[in-house]
């Protein structure tokens, strides 16, 4: 084996452009994005099939828009229900805080959806099968990374046969979850953001919706809202999921035995206030988790990068763990594409952490803060909290932080903010028109004044140009500009009202000098066995 590895290390071209370690939702989304970019990819995943324990249930409009980008939104939609509010109530059922996410948002999708994570992951995996250059190896446990000047050698164990194997890649992305091996090889520490509570998470399949949650009903009596019971005796979450599934989460109290509490009799005892009939229900999964909050100190070292839970972990109170990981790979994939295709310098990859880290920190800190409200078990503090909030409940809307400096380099807002997705006059969505690339959405009179040289520059940079009218024109007016340059991950690179301003924005797209070496992507993953 050592001899094989040595020979491979000496090879001129790596086997693949990118090795993705971990095939959870984040690794699978990355594999789709890289596959549609025409890169060769190997995915190594330790498990034989999709992870079976209960985890994410909600996704935001940004995540749905990313599914749209990879052409899987239509596949996913029938599996979702829409989420309206999360009502935070005290032990008496009085409203303390309303996290409202109802309706279609600026992404062109609902602000929030609920799903069953194994279904969502299966759809992502089926999507990967569309790309012949993406080679998925299950039961493959990556255990060592040897870094070289122009590639990384990934050593893994084939858990089916026990054989050791190796694959070489230009870049390795650790989508390998909270206990990341890649993070350890990078020597990145985890910054503790100080929230580590234990909760039991229970997924139930019920013949009919539960009684006892009238506050979750819509005007037609359908259970739609999630409820966060901020009861100091036992903080509890209730979430209606698609179909017959319902999620309950209960915070473990000091007297609880973490092993005993997952037994059926304990689960039904916890569910007693909702009158769940064991004869008409099934405990699909019940497991105790510690909800961590942490941030890796750095996300890139040379050819190794982190994305998803390997880079950050958050308590689930905002439903943002997976969504943040999806944002990571949305940010990273086009940068990898442009660097590997030789269009952009390797330094473009340094903008990844700079843009993403502060963005995800904002979500984690808000979730931790919310967790403090929800997880109050001190009776006096709970009384004070109720006193403050019942009279004046807080309305919380989804936050939309700006990216860290990275590409916009502290240009004034809205650079670095989310770009809306208006409908075009023919009814199509903006992203469907422009595809997975930079786009200029501009009013006709700005486009008419562009000099030929700038038009050529837009062409050379492969920027899709869309004339704004109707809803798209209203959007530009709302951000007080004539044109907006949108990145492939649908964040705003910059705005412009004159050709000169537009030239400045377009100049921020990193490109190789014309005499730079033409790096070719690796065509096809060589099987290493």
Ligand X SMILES: Cc1cc2nc3c(=O)[nH]c(=O)nc-3n(C[C@H](O)[C@H](O)[C@H](O)COP(=O)(O)OP(=O)(O)OC[C@H]3O[C@@H](n4cnc5c(N)ncnc54)[C@H](O)[C@@H]3O)c2cc1C
| Nearest distance, CB of residue 5 and ligand X, angstroms | 17
| Nearest distance, CB of residue 44 and ligand X, angstroms | 5
What are 425's two structure tokens?
Answer: 């006059």
| Nearest distance, CB of residue 318 and ligand X, angstroms | 8
Phi and psi angles of residue 355, each rounded to the nearest 5 degrees, phi first = -80, -40
CB 37 within 8 A of CB 393: no
CB 331 within 8 A of CB 360: no
One residue of 16, 19, 20, 21 binding ligand X per CB under 6 A: 21
Given the complex with ligand X, which of 43 and 472 has the nearer CB atom?
43
Given the complex with ligand X, which of 135 and 338 has the nearer CB atom?
135
| Nearest distance, CB of residue 120 and ligand X, angstroms | 10
Size of the site for ligand X (CB under 6 A): 34
| Nearest distance, CB of residue 486 and ligand X, angstroms | 24
Phi and psi angles of residue 167, each rounded to the nearest 5 degrees, phi first = -140, 145
d(CA 178, CA 310): 5
One residue of 16, 276, 323, 440 binding ligand X per CB under 6 A: 323
Q: HSE on the CB side for 334, CA within 13 Å? A: 19
What are 333's two structure tokens?
Answer: 């994939």
Task: Name beta bridge partners: 206.
Answer: 281
The dihedral through the CA atoms of 519, 343, 339, 59 has a sign that is: negative
| Nearest distance, CB of residue 50 and ligand X, angstroms | 8
Q: In this chain, which stretch among 210-218, 317-325, 347-355, 405-413 interacts with ligand X, using CB under 6 A?
A: 317-325
d(CA 338, CA 330): 13
Q: In this chain, which stretch among 172-180, 203-211, 412-420, 473-481 interacts with ligand X, using CB under 6 A?
A: 172-180
One residue of 89, 97, 175, 329 binding ligand X per CB under 6 A: 175
CB 3 within 8 A of CB 516: no
d(CA 479, CA 456): 26
Q: Tokens 């030789």 identify what position? A: 342
Check residue 58 for interaction with ligand X (CB under 6 A).
Answer: yes
Check residue 319 for interaction with ligand X (CB under 6 A).
Answer: yes
Q: In this chain, which stretch among 64-72, 271-279, 314-322, 383-391 interacts with ligand X, using CB under 6 A?
A: 314-322
Strands, E assignment, 274-392: 281-291, 294-296, 300-301, 304-306, 312-313
Site for ligand X in 407-446 (CB under 6 A): none
Given the complex with ligand X, which of 323 and 509 has the nearer CB atom?
323
From residue 122, alpha-carbon distances to 52, 119, 147, 211, 295 in Å are 11, 5, 32, 32, 28
Check residue 27 for interaction with ligand X (CB under 6 A).
Answer: yes
Where do contacts with ligand X occur on this chain (CB under 6 A)? Answer: 21-27, 44-47, 51, 55-59, 141-142, 175-177, 181, 201, 289, 308-309, 316, 319-323, 325
């Amino acid at each position: 084996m050592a001899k094989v590895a040595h020979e491979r290390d000496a090879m001129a071209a790596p086997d693949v452009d990118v090795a993705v370690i971990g095939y959870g939702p984040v690794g699978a989304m990355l594999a789709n994005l890289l596959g549609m970019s025409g890169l060769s990819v190997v995915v190594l995943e330790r498990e034989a099939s999709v992870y079976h324990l209960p985890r994410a249930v909600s996704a935001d409009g940004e995540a749905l828009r990313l599914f749209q980008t990879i052409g899987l939104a239509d596949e996913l939609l029938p599996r979702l229900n829409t989420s309206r509010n999360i009502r935070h109530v005290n032990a008496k059922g009085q409203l303390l805080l309303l996290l409202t996410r109802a309706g279609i948002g600026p992404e062109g999708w609902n602000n929030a959806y609920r799903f069953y994570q194994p279904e969502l992951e299966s759809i992502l995996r089926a999507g990967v099968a569309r790309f012949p250059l993406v080679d998925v190896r299950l039961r493959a446990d990556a255990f060592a990374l040897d870094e070289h000047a122009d590639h990384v050698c990934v050593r893994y164990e084939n858990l089916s046969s026990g054989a050791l194997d190796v694959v070489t890649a230009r870049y390795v992305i650790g989508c390998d979850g909270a206990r990341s091996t890649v993070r350890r090889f990078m020597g990145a520490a985890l910054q503790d953001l100080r929230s580590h509570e234990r909760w039991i998470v229970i997924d139930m399949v019920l013949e009919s919706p539960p009684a006892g949650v009238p506050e979750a009903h819509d005007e037609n009596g359908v259970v739609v809202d999630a409820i966060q019971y901020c009861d100091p005796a036992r903080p509890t979450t209730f979430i209606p999921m698609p179909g017959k599934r319902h999620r309950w989460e209960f915070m473990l109290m000091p007297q609880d035995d973490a092993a005993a509490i997952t037994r059926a009799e304990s689960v039904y005892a916890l569910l007693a206030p909702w009158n769940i009939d064991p004869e008409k229900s099934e405990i699909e999964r019940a497991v105790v988790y510690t909800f961590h909050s942490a941030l890796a100190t750095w996300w890139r070292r040379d050819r190794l990068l982190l994305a998803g839970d390997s880079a950050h972990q958050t308590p689930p109170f905002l439903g943002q763990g997976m969504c943040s990981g999806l944002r990571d790979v949305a940010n990273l994939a086009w940068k990898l594409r442009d660097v590997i295709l030789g269009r952009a310098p390797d330094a473009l990859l340094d903008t990844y952490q700079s843009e993403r880290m502060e963005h995800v920190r904002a979500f984690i800190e808000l979730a931790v803060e919310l967790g403090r409200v929800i997880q109050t078990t001190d009776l006096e503090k709970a009384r004070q909290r109720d006193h403050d909030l019942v009279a004046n409940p807080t309305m919380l809307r989804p936050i939309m932080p700006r990216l860290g400096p990275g590409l916009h380099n502290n240009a004034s807002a809205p650079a670095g903010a989310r770009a809306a997705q208006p409908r075009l006059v023919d009814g199509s969505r903006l992203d469907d028109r422009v595809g997975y690339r930079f786009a200029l959405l501009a009013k006709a009179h700005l486009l008419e004044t562009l000099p030929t040289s700038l038009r050529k520059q837009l062409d050379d940079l492969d920027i899709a140009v869309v004339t704004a009218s109707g809803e798209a024109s209203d959007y530009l007016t709302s951000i007080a500009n004539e044109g907006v340059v949108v990145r492939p991950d649908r964040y705003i690179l910059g705005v412009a009202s004159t050709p000169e301003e537009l030239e400045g924005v377009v100049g921020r797209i990193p490109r190789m000098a014309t005499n730079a070496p033409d790096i070719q992507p690796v065509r096809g993953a060589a099987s290493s066995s």
